[in-house]
């Protein structure tokens, strides 16, 4: 009888787990259209939790006013400038593409100028590589510009036609951020108690996750923003058109490890040199190597404090994979997934080491006692 009851309990438990899995899957499918605003709301709530705590102390422990005040600061100090900047960047991109279409770059002349500056050995290498045929490159570039103009225009139309969807997603993100700021810690503790993982492991994983989020956003986001600002200032000084656009591009590339900000300021500096603007090109290159790239080495230890333990090649692969899967959000989500992956395996290794030490501690007293009894009987 007891055996039958036990089997019935196991069947009921398995049925409940199946229902739980199906309901969770349906929940994930339903909220998937708002996955990106929910992701950014969660990350913002984690990063601005110190601001909320400060507001909470100033307002005598009243959680709702503190969360509303924190959300207001985030909205006017971060979100509004970001949206305004995005609008300016799109406008500069459209103007730049239109200018290049109206006045195509004369690559042949520029190539001849750069080719003449090379030593004879380098000129022979260029001749063997086939890059000397600039007419073909010019044709491909003009086709690329036409495609770029069409793509930017179509994206602008889609953004305009999808304004209602964007506004809805933006509003949902702000609404969720309010509750995550106010109840984030309580929600986190509830999740830790609910997930079917040993409490010590879940707590360590949560601590590592928070550390990875802060390190990723502070160590990569803030450093990338600073490098973009510095690059934009250097482009503005030399009178480069669309300096804001190239500064934002520098910020984006600075978020990708290995590639970095040099993917923007090096081609810009070289192009200025080829175009005959010598001091401008030298200034951009020298300023880029001496200030922009060096700012990473100065700021990252100050902001992060210590290394996240994620190798650069893993960050590169996961960042590119995240971009291909989720678009711009993948720049942040990719390294977060990589950090959680490595943290989970390291916690598993730590747990096995702790279990092995505990087993050794249990065996050692028995061994000592047995050897002691053997020595006494021998005497």
Question: What DSSP line would sit under 59-117, residue for residue?
Answer: TTT-HHHHHHHHHHHHIIIIIHHHHHHHHHHHHHHHHHHHHHHHS---HHHHHHHHHHH
Angle 262-274/278-287 helices, nearest 10 degrees? 160
Where exactly are the structural domains of the chain?
Answer: 32-191, 198-368
Give me the pLDDT at residue 378, please.
Answer: 47
Q: Assess whether pLDDT exceeds 90 at residue 233.
A: yes
* Nearest CA among 271, 266, 270, 232 for reference residue 249: 232
Give me the pLDDT at residue 67, please.
Answer: 93
User: Which tops the pLDDT comparison, 134 or 303?
Assistant: 303
Q: Assess whether pLDDT exceeds 60 at residue 239.
A: yes
Give me the pLDDT at residue 180, please.
Answer: 92
Give 175's pLDDT tier (boundaries 50, 70, 90). Answer: very high
- The residue whose two tokens read 């739980």 is 20
Give me the pLDDT at residue 297, please.
Answer: 78
Determine contact, residues 278/269, Cβ cutoff 8 Å: no
Determine contact, residues 131/122, Cβ cutoff 8 Å: no
Give 52's pLDDT tier (boundaries 50, 70, 90). Answer: very high
* Nearest CA among 176, 206, 208, 200 for reference residue 188: 206
User: Which tops the pLDDT comparison, 298 or 116?
Assistant: 298
Give me the pLDDT at residue 83, please.
Answer: 87
Reduced DSSP (H G I as helix, E B as strand, rest coil) percent helix, strand, coil of the chain, to 5: 90, 0, 10
Buried/exposed code over 171-205 (b: 16+ C-beta within 10 A; e: otherwise): ebbbebbbebbbebeeeeeeeeeeeeeeeebbebb
For the chain, the average pLDDT equals 78
Determine contact, residues 33/143, Cβ cutoff 8 Å: no
Taking residues 217-225, report their average pLDDT.
81
Taking residues 315-329, report their average pLDDT.
79
Give me the pLDDT at residue 375, please.
Answer: 46
pLDDT digits (tens, 9 = 90+) for 100-156: 666 665 555 666 666 666 666 666 666 665 555 555 555 655 555 555 555 555 555
130: exposed, middle or buried (Cβ count in 10 Å: 0-12, 13-18, 19+): exposed
* Nearest CA among 182, 171, 187, 176 for reference residue 52: 182
Q: Assess whether pLDDT exceeds 70 at residue 368.
A: no
Give 376's pLDDT tier (boundaries 50, 70, 90). Answer: very low
- Enter the DSSP assignment of 250: H
User: Which tops the pLDDT comparison, 107 or 91?
Assistant: 91
- Distance CA(69)–CA(363), nearest Å, equals 58
Least confident of 54-63, 214-223, 227-236, 357-366: 357-366
Determine contact, residues 327/40, Cβ cutoff 8 Å: no
Give me the pLDDT at residue 122, please.
Answer: 67
Determine contact, residues 319/330, Cβ cutoff 8 Å: yes
């Amino acid at each position: 009888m007891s055996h039958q009851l036990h089997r019935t309990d196991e069947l009921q438990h398995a049925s409940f787990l199946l229902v739980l899995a199906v309901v969770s899957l349906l929940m994930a499918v339903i909220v998937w259209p708002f996955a990106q605003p929910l992701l950014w709301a969660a990350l913002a709530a984690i990063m601005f939790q110190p601001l909320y705590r400060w507001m909470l102390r100033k307002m005598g422990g009243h959680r709702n006013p503190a969360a509303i005040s924190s959300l207001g600061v985030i909205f006017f100090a971060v979100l509004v400038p970001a949206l305004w900047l995005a609008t300016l960047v799109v406008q500069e991109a459209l103007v730049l593409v239109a200018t290049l279409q109206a006045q195509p770059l004369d690559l042949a002349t520029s190539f001849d100028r750069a080719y003449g500056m090379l030593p004879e050995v380098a000129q022979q290498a260029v001749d063997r590589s086939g890059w000397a045929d600039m007419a073909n490159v010019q044709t491909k570039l003009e086709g690329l510009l036409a495609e770029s103009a069409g793509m930017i225009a179509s994206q602008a139309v889609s953004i305009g036609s999808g304004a209602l969807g964007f506004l809805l997603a933006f509003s949902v993100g702000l609404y969720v951020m309010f509750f995550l700021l106010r109840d984030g810690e309580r929600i986190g503790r509830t999740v830790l108690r609910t997930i079917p993982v040993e409490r010590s492991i879940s707590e360590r994983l949560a601590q590592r996750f928070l550390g990875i989020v802060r390190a990723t956003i502070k160590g990569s986001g803030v450093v990338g923003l600073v490098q973009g600002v510095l690059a934009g200032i250097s482009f503005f000084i030399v009178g480069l058109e669309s300096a804001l656009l190239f500064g934002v591009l520098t910020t984006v590339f600075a978020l990708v490890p290995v590639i970095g900000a040099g993917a923007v300021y090096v081609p810009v500096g070289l192009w200025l040199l080829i175009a005959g603007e010598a001091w401008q090109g030298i200034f951009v290159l020298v300023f880029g190597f001496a200030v922009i790239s060096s700012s990473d080495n100065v700021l990252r230890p100050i902001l992060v404090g210590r290394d996240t333990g994620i190798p650069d090649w893993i960050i590169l692969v996961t960042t590119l994979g995240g971009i291909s899967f989720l678009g711009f959000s993948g720049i942040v989500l990719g390294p977060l997934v990589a950090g959680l992956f490595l943290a989970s395996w390291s916690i598993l290794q730590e747990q096995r080491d702790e279990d092995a030490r505990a087993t050794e501690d249990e065996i050692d007293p028995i061994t000592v006692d047995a050897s002691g009894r053997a020595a006494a009987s021998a005497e």
